[in-house]
Amino acid sequence: QVQLVESGGGLVQAGGSLSLSCAASGATFSRYSAAWFRQAPGEEREFVAAIIRNSRNTYYRDSVKGRFTIWRGENTVSLEMNSLASEDTAVYSCAAGTVSAWDCTDANNYDYWGQGTQVTVSS
């Protein structure tokens, strides 16, 4: 079992930056790949970024490439978000699971989820 707790959300102006962090506990976090997903009001949850266990390779949705960076520590996974735009407004959740590169974008493949943190970008 892995428990995940996000922090770092908030309100930021368009063009600004925010950094999200997710603290893991309860199991050996390095056994799992980790990812960030987001869900805007009235929208489906969507993949944002993932970092794969062992290889540490990273993957991003096209709309955040070059603006967002995912990285992980021993028991954390973080998301640095730059050049934020109103369309980035959503609840951001971290997730962990034994996923690989080819299935890391599907939320159904993740076993553990945090409670989410709100990111609001004002224009």
- State pLDDT tens for residues 93-114: 999 999 999 999 999 999 999 9
**Mean pLDDT computed over 76-88:** 97
Short-list 118, 110, 8, CA closest to 49: 110
State the CB neighbour count (10 A cutoff) for residue 74: 8
What pLDDT is stored for residue 77 in this prediction?
97
Mean pLDDT score across all residues of the chain: 96
The values of phi and psi at residue 54, to 5°, are 70, -65
